[in-house]
Each structure stands twice: as structure tokens, then as C-alpha cells.
Structure 1
């Protein structure tokens, strides 16, 4: 484990959605290509997909479904955003998804400031997105919050100070949120590469080593799986 990962692991009591929901009310959610193919799940219809999420939560007596880091998915085949001609398909998810209803509060993981924000409007993209900048032990890094409501971007300014646990946004509805069942895409980024308001959340196999290093497992910070 490198220094950056150690720093993330040493943070405690982190939540990025609704602080009233305990991690014991979270259920793991498998959206790997292998699993969704087996279920013969129609991933092209966001409304049907939302019903699938609701069913999973109900069956597991859970309030939030979570998972997806480094998961190879078929979910992105419906979007040209991830399947461009003469470019290797991007289908490996490099953030953590938290599936819960639209309107749920989104919280800053840590103290920091707003780095950037924008509405990424391509079909299958993040929709409204906020990126925060943090510094701990002289290490600067970023957290990305995707699939938000349009209202979440109102009144925001780059450089605006945020505190750990502060409400910074709400989850968006489809189709504003990129046309997905409502969820938060949460991602940790070490090197933002001069990007603003956006950063890849899905990568190709050939770029996986870079993104694994640059975007470590968000569960190092959240520790959902430890509960």
C-alpha cells in the first residue's frame, strides 16, 4: 500500500450520501458483464434498470446498493461516449456507485474546496458533476461526484470551501443524470490531469494499470465493506 492509499485508509467516519443511513443498511450490487448477461437484463432502458435496483434493495432489505470498482460492465455498450470508432472500448468502471433514489443528499467526503463543476450532457455521461480538491499530509487529491441534479450546480463557485459531511448536492433523476437509474458515482483521483468538471469514470483494458494507480478503490476511504 502506498502513502496515498495509507492516507485514505487512515480517514474515519466518512459518508458521501445521506448521513442518517448506516452502512449496515447497504447491500453489495454486482453489475459485472458476467452477472448481467446471465440475468438477461435489458440495460438499455433506464426505467427498467431502476426497477431492477429497487427489487435488489427490497430483496436485501437495504436502503443503498453499492459496488462497481474495477467492474467490467456491458452497461456502457448503449452509449457512443464509451464506444468510439478505432478506439478501444471503455467498459471498466473506476469509481464506486451508490444506488438510491433521486433527491438523496450528497455529502463532501472530506474538508476541501470546489475544484470545478459542469453538466456533462453526452448520453450515458455523468450529467451534473462536482469535483472537490483536498489536501492531507501535503498530498493533494480530488473526489468526484457524478449523476447529480441540475440544481446542485446552482450557486457553486470554484474555490468555495466545503467541510467534511456538508451537503453539496442531491442525486439527479434520469435523463438529466446521464440517463441512468439514480445513483452517485463517487471517485477518488490523485492526478486530475488539468481536467475540469469531468474525469473518466470508465476506462479501457489497455489503460487500466494507469487508472488503478490514479483512482484507488473508494472503499479505502468509505470502508463500507468493513461493516
Structure 2
């Protein structure tokens, strides 16, 4: 049985009920699916390379559709990453990273981020490059003896100001918030949420985007976050 199957089995057997990761009521709040692949012809380079214009584009989409959040992106092959050298290869001609390994939840700055289950702060960092995570926190979890990790990227600097490695975070606890562009890697405000089965030696960071040719390996270690989020069912 692979690690994903073990995690799915542990979740089913434990009967755990995950907390919403952001304030969200299915009865009144609308979720909008946002597409950042080549199929989205609206996101021209002039928008992607300008954080203000990109933020306006996201906000306009949410307002026009009366949506509380935009959501999506898992296993999405994104052209949006062409705007940052963070995702390009080190060598000329090397395949760039474009395949997204987490789920993004787009919303207002300072939106509270809630722990979906009990965890311990594994590590945190300020990954301050254009297009990177900005303020980032990684939690470790243990469900019936099975250990895994969750990564929260594009947070505010306040989110990592008063935490420490080894700190316990309780399910349902507000422990972070969406950051503004100056502190979240120069992105429109949103949360990157990623499940990681084996984090190796990474601290305060872990790839959230991989090469398309290596997708099978990376997706196996970062399964669909909706296993915890359970929000895709409400997409309209």
C-alpha cells in the first residue's frame, strides 16, 4: 500500500472531521474556479508581470461572480509561472517548472487561515523572491501513527512573527493570514495549501511547482489537498 492509500485509510478509519481552512459557509459563500493554464487567454504577460494589474484581475473575477474565494490549481500546468525566474531551470534550455502541486485559495488580504487539524510547527521562513512563497509555515501532523505535513504559503509576515518550531497548533485555531504582495512573494493575496507526505530535509520551504516531465513523482508525494480541504464539491 502506497503512502497516499495509507493516508486515505487513516482518514477514513479515524473518522476525523477537518476544520475549514478559511472562513467559509457553503450555504452563503460562493467558490469560483480560476484557471491559470494556457487556456486562459485573458492573462497576458502585461498582467502577469504587474502585481497590481494581476491583483485587479483576480478581484474583478471574484466581484463579477459574487464569489468569496477563487480556488483551484492542483496538478495544473500553469503559464503564470513564466513571469518569475524562480521557476526557470538553472541551465540554459533546462525544462522550467510549471506544474502546480498545491491548491490556491484566492481572496482578500488578511483573510484568516485556520488549522484544519492538530499539528506542530515543523518550520517557517520568509522566502522573499519575486514569485516565491513569501512568508511560509509548515506544520507536521500525526494521525494514528501516520505522519505527514501541510504547507501554507503566501502568508503575512505577522503570521510568522510569533511562532516557533515545535509549537503546537490546535485544530480550528487561527494561526496565520493571507499576506499582501510585499510579503507574499508579489502575488495577489491568496493561500497556497499543499499536503506533503515525505518532506525530506526541507525547512521552511518545499517545491510547490515541478517540471511537467517529473509530475508523477512529485504528485505522488503531494496528493490532492482536497482530501483535507473538502471544498471542490462546492465549486460553481
TM-score band by shorter chain is over 0.9
Query: Which residue in the other structure is 1:39 paired with?
Result: 42
C-alpha distance in 1, partners of 2:179/2:161? 13
C-alpha distance in 2, partners of 1:28/1:7? 29
**Which stretch of the first structure deviates more once superposed, 123-132 or 84-93?**
84-93
**Which stretch of the first structure deviates more once superposed, 58-67 or 127-136?**
58-67
Q: Matches of residues 19-30 of structure 1 in structure 2 within 5 Å?
A: 21-23=24-26, 24-30=29-35
What are the Cα deviations for residues 73-111 of structure 1, in whole angstroms up to 9, with x where unaligned? 111112111113423200011000000011111111210
Query: Which residue in the other structure is 1:54 paired with?
Result: 59
- Report the Cα offset of residue 49 of structure 1: 1.0
Alignment partner of 1:220: what SS?
Answer: helix
- Report the Cα offset of residue 165 of structure 1: 1.4
With structure 1 as the length reference, what TM-score do the two structures score? 0.93
- Say if 1:11 and 1:221 are closer, same or farther in 2 by CA, change over 3 A: farther
C-alpha distance in 1, partners of 2:147/2:168? 15
Q: Matches of residues 142-221 of structure 1 in structure 2 within 5 Å?
A: 142-221=149-228
C-alpha distance in 2, partners of 1:11/1:203? 30
List alignment gaps of at least 5 residues for structure 1. Answer: none
The structure 1 residue matched to 2:73, chosen from 68, 74, 93, is: 68
1:144 touches 1:187 (CA, 8 Å); kept in 2?
yes
1:11 touches 1:221 (CA, 8 Å); kept in 2?
no
Alignment partner of 1:128: what SS?
Answer: strand
C-alpha distance in 2, partners of 1:39/1:154? 37
With structure 2 as the length reference, what TM-score do the two structures score? 0.89
Query: Which residue in the other structure is 1:102 paired with?
Result: 109
C-alpha distance in 1, partners of 2:146/2:43? 44
- Report the Cα offset of residue 8 of structure 1: 4.7
C-alpha distance in 1, partners of 2:54/2:43? 12
The structure 1 residue matched to 2:19, chosen from 14, 19, 24, is: 14
Alignment partner of 2:116: what SS?
Answer: coil
- Report the Cα offset of residue 16 of structure 1: 1.3
Number of residue pairs aligned between Structure 1 and Structure 2: 223
C-alpha distance in 2, partners of 1:220/1:40? 29
- Say if 1:128 and 1:40 are closer, same or farther in 2 by CA, change over 3 A: closer
